[in-house]
């Protein structure tokens, strides 16, 4: 659905005003590649996080199922230490996940560079080529949304 939407938006932009669409088209690479990288990296991190949560869950499950034994041998501190070590892996993966999300969201700033270039070139087209401002705005919006 997203690929069809992207292609459809770009086709509509080229049909509305091809000169301006040619200026904004190369920026699609800078919008699509970070999205693909973000999706792939996030899937890998999510898989690793599930495994780490499984390790911590196993420790807690065993401690709860044999709570009398843990209590009788004063093993609460040992269980807490094991659980803390298991949770440390989740914290590290959470930090990586935050970095990946920040990079992906920050890379969407390319849209503003694309928009500023198309606005500048569109103003030249309005002044010297007889283009209409509404068409310039519509093509800019269509290309920005299509790139996202």
Task: Specify the CATH number for the domain of residue 94.
Answer: 1.20.1560.10
Q: Say what the pLDDT of residue 106 is.
A: 82
User: Within 13 Å of residue 105, how many CA atoms lie on the same side as its CB?
Assistant: 6
Q: Say what the pLDDT of residue 128 is.
A: 92
Q: Could you tell me which of 138, 146, 144 has the C-alpha nearest to residue 122?
A: 138
The CA distances from residue 85 to 26, 77, 93, 96, in Å, are 47, 12, 13, 18
Residue with tokens 């500023």: 116
* Structural domain span for residue 59: 2-147
Q: Say what the pLDDT of residue 82 is.
A: 84
Tens of pLDDT, residues 119-143: 899 999 999 988 898 999 998 888 8
CB atoms within 10 A of CB 27: 19
Tens of pLDDT, residues 15-26: 998 898 898 888
Tens of pLDDT, residues 26-85: 888 887 787 788 888 888 898 998 888 888 888 778 777 777 776 666 777 787 888 888
Model's pTM, two decimal places? 0.63
Number of domains in the chain: 1
């Amino acid at each position: 659905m997203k690929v069809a939407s992207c292609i459809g938006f770009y086709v509509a932009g080229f049909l509305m005003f091809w000169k301006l669409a040619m200026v904004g088209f190369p920026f699609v690479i800078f919008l699509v590649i970070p999205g693909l990288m973000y999706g792939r990296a996030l899937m890998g991190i999510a898989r690793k996080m599930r495994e780490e949560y499984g390790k911590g869950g196993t420790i807690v499950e065993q401690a709860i199922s044999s709570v009398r034994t843990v209590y009788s041998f004063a093993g609460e501190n040992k269980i807490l230490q094991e659980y803390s070590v298991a949770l440390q892996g989740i914290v590290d993966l959470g930090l990586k996940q935050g970095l990946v999300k920040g990079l992906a969201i920050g890379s969407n700033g390319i849209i503003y560079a694309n928009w500023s270039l198309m606005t500048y070139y569109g103003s030249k087209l309005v002044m010297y080529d007889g283009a209409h401002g509404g068409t310039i705005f519509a093509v800019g919006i269509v290309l920005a949304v299509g790139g996202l």
